[in-house]
């Protein structure tokens, strides 16, 4: 960002004005990106339909022009029976395959348990941190 005045040299009002202007530009850019992404989504859907309609929706097929190629690729998603989740996690842990389970915790529900008096097991905790909220009016 090319600022006429160094951010460090700005007074509080100038700093907040600079932030407000930057947030406004960011909003405009996000809107433009959203519109562009919508075009990409629509075009990708049309290409997918055309490949399917022409019998080319199989691995190794595709379309290309100079500078751009679209190829159908075989990919894989992990799938599981939700009713079996607990046994799958236990199996992964007992067999040493914990790397297949994504380690992500939700702070909100954990905090609710904590507030509700549920004792969390050793090694599990909710850690507070400070953040900054910005509101434009």
Strand partners for 13: none
Q: Which pLDDT value is given to residue 70?
A: 95
pLDDT < 70 positions in the chain: 1-4
pLDDT digits (tens, 9 = 90+) for 14-27: 999 999 999 999 99
Q: Which pLDDT value is given to residue 103?
A: 76
Domain boundary assignment for the chain: 7-60, 82-115
Q: Which pLDDT value is given to residue 133?
A: 86
Beta strands in the chain (DSSP E): 62-65, 68-71
Q: What is the DSSP letter of 120?
A: P
pTM of the prediction? 0.68
Q: Which pLDDT value is given to residue 104?
A: 84
Helix segments in 54-128, DSSP class H:
85-95, 107-115
Q: Which pLDDT value is given to residue 4?
A: 67
Question: Considering just the CA atoms, what is the radius of gyration of the chain in Å?
Answer: 25
């Amino acid at each position: 960002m090319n600022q006429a005045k160094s951010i460090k040299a700005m007074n509080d009002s100038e700093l907040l004005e600079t932030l407000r202007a930057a947030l406004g530009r960011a909003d405009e850019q996000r809107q433009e990106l959203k519109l562009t992404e919508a075009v990409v989504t629509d075009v990708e859907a049309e290409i997918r339909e055309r490949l399917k309609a022409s019998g080319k929706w199989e691995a190794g097929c595709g379309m290309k022009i100079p500078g751009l190629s679209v190829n159908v690729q075989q990919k894989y998603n992990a799938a599981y029976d939700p009713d079996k989740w607990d046994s799958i996690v236990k199996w992964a842990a007992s067999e040493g395959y914990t790397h297949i389970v994504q380690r992500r915790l939700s702070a909100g529900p954990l905090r609710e348990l904590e507030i509700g008096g549920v004792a969390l097991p050793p090694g599990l905790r909710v850690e507070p941190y400070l953040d900054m909220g910005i509101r434009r009016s």
